[in-house]
């Protein structure tokens, strides 16, 4: 049995330690902040001792050697390692708030703290922090491109742990399609490969008996199913994905995230996510995530 390796990378403050704990709970042997120079040697050692599941976290503290990681990942795949790369991301505003709340120093603050970044004779710490975050995005761009991106901006630690476990439960040998409902008022998920706006559709929120329900409930589903506009929107999204998903699979994509957004993330987007997931489940490995409902 080939080694299964999960590589966790991402932005500082995005929840990598939370994801690593989820994998440890799931039975993975976990290593935090492994230097990239040791990756191939470490994997070789784990193969020799017949380890089954290993998870490694790397971050920008290894900035100087991060550029070698993409080529290492390709080499591991050529060697038959079952590799999954996860990239945790959050909006810059969210990361600034988290660093401010915890009073932690960003690992790249020293690089971003350049002469001239001063206000009233004191360093403008927020400007330095934003610059450090943007520098980190540049350094990690290649790794992000090769990974499944998970947006942790508006989810709690328990949600992230459950999300990571559900993603890794899906077969690794084929494309996995993730449908995600969300509310535009809370921002577009940064992990979405495609985003469809359904706010122009009839809104059950304005029907008093439907307002407390969700798109998973039969009365809401019946209400939306009776709308010709909803049917047209569903048909257009279904047709688009049916046409392009095979091309993405041929391009060796492991995951595709489709975001469906409405105003509150409760009725229309949830209904369409459930309907689309059911339609594609016989063609692809399909997962659902309801960002706003899961908050409850």
Binding-site residues for ATP, in ranges, read: 10-17
CA distance 256 to 175: 7
CA 88, 90, 95, 98 torsion: positive or negative? negative
Grouping H, G, I as helix, E, B as strand and the rest as coil, residue 194 is: strand
Beta-carbon contacts of residue 102 (< 8 Å; ≥ 6 apart): 13
Binding site, by residue number, is: 10-17, 59-62
| First CA to last CA distance, the chain | 40
Tell me how far apart the alpha carbons of residues 163 and 158 are, in angstroms, rounded to a whole number.
9
Cα separation of 292 and 193, whole Å? 19
Which residues define the annotated binding site for GTP?
59-62
**Residue 27, token pair as written in the block:** 């039975």
How many residues belong to the chain? 296
């Amino acid at each position: 049995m080939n080694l299964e390796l999960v590589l966790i990378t991402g932005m500082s403050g995005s929840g990598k330690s939370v994801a690593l704990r989820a994998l440890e709970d799931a039975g993975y042997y976990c290593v935090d902040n492994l230097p990239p120079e040791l990756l191939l040697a470490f994997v070789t050692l784990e193969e020799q001792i017949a380890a089954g599941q290993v998870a490694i976290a790397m971050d920008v503290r290894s900035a100087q050697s991060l550029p070698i990681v993409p080529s290492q990942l390709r080499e591991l795949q050529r060697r038959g390692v079952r590799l999954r790369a996860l990239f945790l991301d959050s909006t810059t505003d969210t990361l600034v708030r988290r660093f401010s709340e915890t009073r932690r120093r960003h690992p790249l603050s020293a690089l971003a703290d350049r002469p001239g970044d001063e206000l009233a004779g004191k360093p403008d710490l927020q400007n330095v922090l934003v610059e450090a975050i943007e520098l980190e995005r540049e350094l990690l761009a290649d790794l992000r491109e090769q990974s499944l991106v998970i947006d942790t901006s508006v989810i709690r630690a328990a949600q992230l742990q459950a999300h990571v476990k559900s993603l890794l439960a899906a077969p690794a040998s084929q494309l996995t399609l993730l449908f995600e409902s969300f509310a535009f008022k809370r921002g577009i998920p940064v992990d979405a490969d495609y985003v469809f706006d359904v706010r122009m559709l009839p809104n059950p929120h304005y029907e008093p008996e439907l307002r407390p329900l969700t798109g998973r409930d039969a009365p809401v589903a019946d209400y939306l199913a009776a709308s010709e506009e909803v049917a047209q929107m569903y048909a257009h999204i279904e047709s688009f994905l049916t046409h392009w998903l095979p091309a993405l699979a041929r391009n060796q994509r492991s995951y595709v995230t489709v975001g469906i957004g409405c105003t509150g993330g409760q009725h229309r987007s949830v209904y369409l996510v459930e309907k689309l997931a059911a339609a594609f489940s016989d063609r692809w490995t399909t997962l659902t995530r309801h960002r706003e409902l899961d908050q409850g």
